[in-house]
């Protein structure tokens, strides 16, 4: 079969021949129609993600949309290595139905970034209607959906941060805080924590996360649930111990491992079922899988490869 094959870690996959998969115990064989190019897919192909196996060759792609033998449309995630989602066929043990009101490309584009905040809100923070949410790093695909999904869950007030002011203003959040110099940014954070923030979902880590936690320790007026999801600004922070003693701050992560896989798949099923009526949206570009090598570094809109 044709697939996006990683022959060398850190290099774009090649559109190449790969062994056809055979469904194992508990698996279904999916005829793939669409697979998104996510940060997780890139990180695994580079051998940089904590869930990477490191062995080559393998097929790129952690999730996608396709059809089972009975014709039903499904979303699938984490095919058994060395198989991946960016191929004509994939063996899948973890599937969720795709509703009729959502096309294959849209479902593939929404599932992974939408799951990140859906699981964070529901499984980790247990977000309640009427609460205030701050999305740190809201201009990427996951952050954009985190704003939309917070609204869907009934958040009373949504604060979005990021470095691109124009993109921030287009999100529909109640307040946009540009990440500028440390002094200005921390002052804005303190103002909002004094006003009241219940949940932070963090896609950046790095310096902005430090400033958020320090500002919360200085000014938070009510308990804070801080959910760490991504590390676009760096994998480590310097956090004073006193920050976690000064205020009731619950610091937790959300992702593969901290949420059971069956729960993550359930969250994706709920997200996809809600998407048509809720109007969740991402700007998306689709390309044939044969262009995977030249499109691997594509920036901007969410990239989905069609098979």
Task: Return the bridge partners of 30, or none.
Answer: 90
Q: Which long-range contacts (CB under 8 A, 24 or more apart) does 39-44 make?
A: 39/230, 39/232, 40/112, 41/85, 41/86, 42/296
Q: Are 206 and 234 in contact (CB under 8 A)?
A: yes
Q: What angle do CA 121, 201, 197 make, to 5 degrees?
A: 90
In this predicted structure, what is the pLDDT of residue 221?
87
Q: Are 282 and 110 in contact (CB under 8 A)?
A: yes
The segment(s) of the chain belonging to CATH 3.40.50.720 are: 113-253
The CATH code for residues 2-111+260-306 is 3.90.180.10
Distance CA 148, CA 150 (A): 6
Q: Are 140 and 232 in contact (CB under 8 A)?
A: yes
The segment(s) of the chain belonging to CATH 3.90.180.10 are: 2-111+260-306
In this predicted structure, what is the pLDDT of residue 53?
67
Q: Which helix (H) or strand (E) holds 144?
A: helix 141-152
Of 233, 228, 159, residue with least CA distance to 194: 159
Of 228, 192, 222, residue with least CA distance to 210: 228
Residue ranges, the chain, pLDDT below 70: 49-54
Task: Please tell me whether residue 155 adopts helix, strand or coil conformation.
Answer: coil
The CATH code for residues 113-253 is 3.40.50.720
In this predicted structure, what is the pLDDT of residue 52?
66
Of 186, 192, 194, 195, residue with least CA distance to 214: 186
């Amino acid at each position: 079969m044709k697939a996006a094959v990683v022959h060398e870690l850190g290099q774009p996959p090649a559109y190449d021949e790969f062994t056809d998969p055979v469904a194992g115990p508990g698996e279904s064989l999916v005829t793939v129609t669409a697979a998104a190019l996510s940060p997780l897919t890139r990180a695994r192909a580079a051998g940089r993600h904590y869930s990477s196996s490191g062995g080559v060759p393998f097929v790129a792609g952690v999730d996608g949309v396709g059809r089972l033998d009975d014709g039903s449309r499904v979303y699938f995630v984490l095919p058994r290595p060395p198989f991946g989602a960016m191929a004509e066929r994939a063996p899948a043990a973890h599937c969720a139905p795709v509703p009729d009101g959502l096309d294959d490309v849209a479902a593939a584009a929404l599932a992974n970034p939408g799951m990140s905040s859906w699981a964070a809100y529901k499984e980790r923070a247990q977000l309640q209607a009427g609460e205030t949410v701050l999305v740190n790093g809201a201009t990427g695909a996951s952050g954009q959906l985190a704003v939309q999904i917070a609204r869907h869950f009934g958040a009373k007030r949504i604060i979005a941060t990021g470095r691109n002011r124009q993109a921030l203003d287009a999100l529909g959040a109640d307040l946009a805080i540009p990440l500028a110099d440390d002094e200005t940014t921390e002052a804005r954070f303190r103002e909002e924590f004094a006003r009241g923030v219940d949940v932070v979902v963090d896609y950046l880590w790095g310096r902005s996360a430090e400033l958020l936690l320090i500002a919360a320790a200085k000014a938070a007026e009510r308990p804070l649930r801080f959910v760490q999801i991504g590390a676009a600004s760096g994998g480590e922070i310097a956090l004073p111990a006193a920050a976690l003693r000064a205020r009731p701050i619950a610091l937790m992560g959300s992702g593969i491992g901290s949420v059971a896989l069956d729960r993550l798949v359930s969250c994706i099923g709920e997200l996809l079922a809600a998407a048509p009526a809720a109007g969740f949206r991402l700007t998306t570009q689709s390309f044939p899988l044969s262009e995977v090598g030249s499109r691997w570094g594509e920036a901007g809109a969410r990239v989905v490869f069609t098979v």
